[in-house]
A and B are shown apart, each in its own frame.
Chain A
Amino acid sequence: MINKVVKNVEDALQGVQSGMTLMLGGFGLCGIPENSISQLEKLGVTDLTCISNNAGVDNFGLGLLLQKRQIKKMISSYVGENDEFERQMLSGELDVELIPQGTLAERCRATGAGIPAFYTPAGYGTEVAEGKETREFNGKMYVLEHAFKPDYAFVKAWKGDTAGNLIFKGTARNFNPLMAMAGKITVAEVEELVPAGELDPNQIHTSGIFVQRIFQGVAYEKRIEQRTVTPKS
C-alpha cells in the first residue's frame, strides 16, 4: 500500500504558489474543499487561476478568496449568488471565462485521461465557440475544446482511506472525481479517513492512483444555499 496521508491541511498545501492554476471541486457549496480553501486564504497566495463550476457565495467557499483579491481568473459555468464576483467581473478587475457545464466537466475528465481535446456540440453558434475550431460530424456542428493544465486539484470526499481511495456522498460527488484525475498534484480532504482495507473496493469512486495527498478534514460547515423543505403535515 502506498501511503498518501499527510498530517494536516498545512502539509497538504505545501508547494502552492501565487500564479498557479488550481482546480476546486464542488457544485455551489455542495462538496467544496472547505479546509483547502481556508488554507489558501491563510497562505495569501495571489494571481490564482481557479477552475471551479461556481465561485462560492460572498462570504463562503471561493467567495473568501475573491474578497481578498487572490483570484486573477475564474473558469466556471455559473457564477450567480455572488455579488462581489459580479462586481469584480463587470468592473474588469477579475478575468472570467464562462464555459458550458458539460464542457467544463469533460475538459476536467480529458485532462486526467490523456485526451488533449475533444469535440462537443455545446456552444456551437454562440460566443463560447468564437475563435475555436469547429467541425461537422454526421450533419451536425461541433466545437473543439481542450484539456486544462492545472497545477493542483483540491477535492473533497465523504470517506477516504490511507491509500487515497475516495467515496463521495450524494450530489457532493459532482466535479470532484474528474478534478481528482486532472491534478498534477491532487489534494483530497475527507470527512472520515480510515485505514486501507476498511473501504469496500467495490464501492470506491476514485482510485488512490489519482490522489497524491489525503488528509482528515476538520470543522465542516457544509452550508446549504437554498434550504427547501416539505412541511411536516
Chain B
Amino acid sequence: MALDKIGIAKRIAQELRDGWYVNLGIGIPTLVANYIPSGIDVEFQSENGLLGMGPFPIEGEEDADLINAGKQTVTVLDGGSLFDSANSFAMIRGQHVQLTVLGAMEVAENGDIANWKIPGKMVKGMGGAMDLVASAENIIVAMMHTNKHGDSKLLKKCSLPLTGVGCVKKIVSNLAVLEVTENGFKLLERAPGVSVEEIKNATEGKLIIEGDIPEMVIN
C-alpha cells in the first residue's frame, strides 16, 4: 500500500544522523520532527531565526514572538538560540546545516526541482527554498509520486519555473525511495506492497532498476 504523509515522514526520519542540524520545510517535512529515531540528537533550524526548535507550545503558552517559518507558534528547546535572518541564511548557505527536507511540485531526473510558482495561477514566492536548495549538501524531497490527476511528478524535465538546478539527492514519495544519479532516478526501496511495475508507471523520468528492490521498513 502506498504510504500516507505520516509514512513518508517516518521513512525520512530514518535518514537523520546523530549531531545533524536539519531544516524542515512546510508540509510533510514538518512531520519528520515527530519521528526522530531513539538515541539520536538532532537540532531543527527554522529559517526565520531559530535553532533548537521544539514542539508546539502547551495550550495557553503560545507566544506571538515565537513562530516557525510556517508562521506556527512553536517553542525553543534547551540549548536553542535566536538570530536574525542574515545569520540564519549564513548557516544555510555556509553549509552549517547538514540536511534540508522540503516538498516539491516537480522533480526532474537530473535533480532540478520546482516548488514555488505556477505561472498565472499560484504565485506565493520561494521564501527560503532557493537559498536552501542552492546550498545544502544533502537535500531530501518529500512528495507524492503523482498529482491528483495521476500524472507523474518525477519528470524528465520540470515544466514549472525552477527553484534550483541539479540539487535534489534523494526523494521519498508515497511509493518509493529514489536516489537522483547522473543517469536518472535510481529506485532504492518500494513502499510496502507497492510493485516495481506500479512505480515504473508512475515515473515519467528515467527510472533505474537494479536487482531486487527491497520494501521499506516502517514502524
Residues of A within 8 A of B (CB): 27-31, 53, 76-81, 86, 89-90, 96, 98, 100-106, 108-109, 120-128, 158, 169-178, 205, 222-232
Contacts and interface: CB of A to CB of B under 8 A. Distances in A.
Nearest to B76: A170
A122 B124 contact: no
Interface in B147-204: 161-166
B62 A227 contact: yes
A39 B112 CA distance: 44
Contacts, number: 184
Interface centre among A100, A223, A229 (most CB of B within 10 A): A100
A228 B134 contact: no
5 smallest beta-carbon distances between A and B, as pairs: A102-B89, A102-B131, A125-B165, A170-B65, A80-B124
B71 A30 contact: yes
Given A123-B130, A126-B163, A227-B62, A106 B124 contact: no
Contacts of A169: 65
B161 A173 contact: no
A225 B67 contact: yes
A98 B89 contact: no
Contact of B93 (A121, A158, A222, A228): A121
B210 interface: no
Contacts of B65: 30-31, 158, 169-172, 222
B98 interface: no
Contacts of B66: 170-171
Nearest to A98: B125
Interface in B81-121: 82-86, 88-89, 92-93, 112, 120
Interface residues of B, number: 54
B1 interface: no
A227 B57 CA distance: 9
Contacts of A174: 48-49, 84-85
A209 to B, nearest CB: 17
A173 B73 contact: no
A118 to B, nearest CB: 11
A173 B82 contact: yes
A105 B85 CA distance: 6
Given A228-B62, A231-B59, 8 more contacts: A120-B93, A122-B131, A126-B165, A127-B162, A226-B70, A226-B73, A229-B58, A229-B61
B67 A122 contact: no
28 contacts: A27-B48, A27-B67, A29-B64, A30-B64, A30-B71, A78-B125, A79-B125, A86-B124, A90-B123, A96-B123, A100-B134, A122-B134, A124-B164, A125-B112, A126-B162, A126-B163, A126-B164, A170-B50, A170-B63, A171-B50, A173-B82, A173-B84, A205-B84, A224-B67, A226-B70, A229-B56, A229-B57, A230-B56
